[in-house]
Structure 1
Amino acid sequence: MRIKPHQQVFFSWFLLLFLFHGSQTQPSTTGYTCTPNQTTYPCQTYVFYRATAPNFLDLASIGDLFHVSRLMITQPSNISSPSSPLIPYQSLFVPITCSCNSVTATFGSLSAANLTYTIKGGDTFYLVSTRNFQNLTTYQSVEVFNPSSVPTRLKIGGEIVFPIFCKCPNETQAKTGVNYLVSYVFQPYDNLSLVASRFGVRTHDINSMNGNKIHPFDTIFIPVNKLPVLPQPKAPSAASPGNAEKKRAIVGLAIGLGICGVLLIFFFAVLLYRDVFSKKRDMERPEDNQKIQFNRPGMLMKGNEVNLMADVSDCLDKYRVFNIEELREATDCFNESCLIQGSVYKGSINGGTYAIKKMKWNACEELKILQKVNHGNLVKLEGFCIDPEDTTCYLVYEFIENGCLYSWLHQNNNGKLNWKTRLRIAVDVANGLQYIHEHTRPKVVHKDIKSGNILLDSNMRAKIANFGLAKSGCNAITMHIVGTQGYIAPEYVAEGVVSTKMDVFSFGVVLLELVSGREAIGEGGKLLWGSVNGVFDGSEERKVKKVKEFMDGGLEGGGCWMESVMNVMGIAIACVNKDPRRRPRMVDVVYALSMTHDLFFHVSEDGLSPPLFPR
């Protein structure tokens, strides 16, 4: 049975809409269009910039980056001296000259301040755009303005034009008193009311200029008639040598008196504590000094175990608390023969089979996240245990019979999965991710989505496992980068940005694994997601040919519907977009995959679908 023509037309339209989702509500990553003959171009305007360590904590380095003098920054930024040191995240107004640039016939004219930057070791278009210029431009725009430069072959010392996003007021705006459209990068912690208050304008003015849908790291334009006065840290006032000596003497005396006071307080506190403790000790029975009764029948704990149990006390009523002897008996004292993978053991307790995860660190954060999630596509936590001898923590999960997706795709131990099974796995994982992203408060970011953390039950239905790296809350910044190479989103590696879009990226890599049967990192360290550039370029025949070349050879001849593979490939490419703003939300991914799954099932429901493992 073939799919009906009207269904093909509908799905092609839907996929096109999905891949370019939001293009009308979000600014183009290549820049902002302008009219060359507009009389207000070129104009002088300003960008809002934040001093950052280690390279941009002085006016000289920031001035060199923007090709302006230190004096040109001090006055608009309310800084008293060009030699004044800066502190991290200190606010600055940096002047730029905004022009309307004729780029190419494809992109037309784009409004930008063209700044020349000399490439240094380790630089990429993405890193310089996000780190040095703080998202005031994008790597896509840099590629457009430098068509002869190959991003993967940048030469140290070479000069590249970085177009800083800007706009000049049009004649109507100028007549209403708008003198500048200040370029401002909207931060994850920003809200429009605070930004409007900072610039002394109305929220309505910002919305009228930029639209209603503003996302983190978008460059927006603030219409002002004059720059607001930035609050700056005050420089220490100069003092005569005599006054300085007096000041030092007073400070020294104050410190000495303070130390004496602290010592006296400490001495009296020790005496008081010893007196109270001795009275309490006399009142206690001897056996009470050896162990503490916890508020649960049969549980005796002491020392660090009490502290750990206190950390997870909220979980006691929801989960079963196992005894360490139960776990030792279930796993033959954690014998290697019971080891499933890593530090996870298979064990049988009272006729039930469990996966027992031995933790090397405090598991209270993972427990706190797991206790508020409950979904059929997430591995279920049954209980936990704390070893009283060494306070090692164990998490006891339901046992998933068919192991992880990685082994089915890459280790060939159990045969190949057919396309129908792979598609159903993709839908299951997408549903699990949508749940933790959209239906938990605060949102949960898994941070380690990969085929090794996707388990398959007896019916080959997928469940997401291992919340050891998960974070409750998103749009945070971290310097501690964790995860699995090949699945980590570029913005997380470069800037430490934690958001749900990093899970979307990792899921896109898993989709590519399902289509290709290849690992996330191939021979020579080649990234799987980096090999899909240009797959959907050109004619329909070329697209189909490229996807067939990318597909897992084991799918050929197994009744696989090519149109379904093409759709999933398109979704995967959208998910691994380098710009997190261009990636779809999981709710969109679930909808698109469900449509693909339903149409594929409709085609194969008359028995034309292949068996679980193609012959």
Structure 2
Amino acid sequence: MMRIRNSIPPHLPLFFFLLLHLFHPSQAQDQIQPNTTGYQCPANQTGSGYPCRTYAFYQASAPNFLDLASIGDLFSVSRPMIAQPSNISSPNSTLAPNQPLFVPLFCSCNFINSTFGAISYANLSYTIKKGDTFYQVSSFSYRNLTTYQSVEVVNPTLIPTNLTIGVSAVFPVFCKCPNTTQLRNGENILISYVVQPNDNVSSIATMFGSKPQSIIDANRKNFREFDTIFVPVSRLPVLTQLPVNTSAPPASSPAASVTSRDRTGTVRGLAIGLGIVGLLLILVLGLWVYREALFKDKLAVVVGDEEKHKQSFATGTKGSKEAEAKLMANVSDCLDKYRVFGYEELREATNGFDQRCLILGSVYKGTIDGEVYAIKKMKWNAYEELKILQKVNHGNLVKLEGFCIDDDEANCYLVYEYVENGSLYSWLHEDRTERLNWKMRLHVAIDVANGLQYIHEHTRPRVVHKDIKSSNILLDANMRAKIANFGLAKSGMNAITMHIVGTQGYIAPEYLADGVVSTKMDVFSFGVVLLELITGKEAIDDRGNPLWTTVVRAFELGSDQEKNKRLREWLDSSLLRETCSMESLRSVLNVALACLHKDPTKRPSMVDVVYALSKSEDSGFDTSDDTMDSPLVSAR
């Protein structure tokens, strides 16, 4: 078993770093300047190997990153996705300081502007907290896998010296996808690694089981401490799990024993301290109860104003300016981190909500100050959706940018980021000259699973989307999948409702029969999406028959050989021209069938699903086939 050695502590004093260069001026002059803004990549991604899945070498650090949950949140991945390649026995285990990890990255080529061109990085969303700076987060949280200069480049609208708490910033973690030569040599992974003091090419090659010449070919011949370099490997080395120090502090010697009087004083002091803590807890609990009561009163006011406005609108009268101001104040108080757009601003952006700007349903495309947005027009039922959207922030969820209230027309507008490549439904079911290949379909599945795992596991109370389907999954410019449309979402689970909503073909049986709302209904719907990705068929056919019922029956019985034959018959015809492994296809089909179990208690959690799909991704592609280098294949 290979053991990756520990690097120096992350918080290297700045003066020590300066001294290194002060006493070695000739060495500093010989080396080229460090790369601060990123690494160039081909802007035209087709056939270039972009995008791809790769890994970053990362080390756990105190005090904030000693568990996989916090590290997973930092990199927008789940705990199992880190545990499996890092040889961590349990995703819930506490990590030792400097525990080496392999963190998966979705690496893409991102065009910045004419000055910087296209830069290769993993697009990670980070929410600014109190005391954060670009330098502090890039150097210590991400441990120099990016630079503050690059963060400034990809966030031109943010002011580095005046960051707003709660705003989302993109942190570009440096990565690269293997080129044709590297793939031909079997080097299908480029590990992002930050150079440490005393590192050299030979020691890094030995550490990862790579070749010195391969590292030189993949990078510049000279590199400096704390540069991110890329180590080509055919497979990830096995990491050793470091022991966590849980030993108790040594007992005091007899000479240090306290007297009986000292012990009595200690007990009294402890009792007084506990009493003070108890009083503080009661005070905090009282304040919390008061706050909840105040919030409910405020919510009742908002709902009451909404109903009054609806009645006013029904009779053709406009709400008073006072009521409008009151409603605006209540909503703004809940959404202080979002931009409040003006109605005229949105109207101008969409040419008066012209049909030519309509994307789908009641969602319009609009341009404001040079930025393109998706503008969702709603009636006064947007409050629940807004309340849920405040709780979520993840790279695989469509981001809410702001909102607008039009009291005169009884409308509320939600303004989202614009996702360039449209819905997964259009890529799978509409007439296109190009189709997604299996590699990209699997990436889409993992992205959606990560988004669901986030809302199921990292929100309190848990959020249930309730309308997962291929038309609510959008693909951005890098073909990264994002979950959209939280209009039916529910905060809280195991509730019973008589009002059944959703889309035919995706609705879980227990919800349809008994109105039971739980995260397992999202798991079921996700299983249907997996079937769409595999078969290329719609969730419901022309006769109204759900896809999932026919597929489940087809694979209930039979040997593995018979099931493989049926899988080829069900497979999307565009995938038959590829060289993706049958093992990978069967693995994803098994995940889909598990998600579609009629008993919700026997369906996997999204944590299990993410883990299983990640293993499916590793089950093999023929990388020598040119069709696998592109996310698209010909539909004909």
Instruction: Give TM-score scaled by structure 2 length.
Output: 0.48
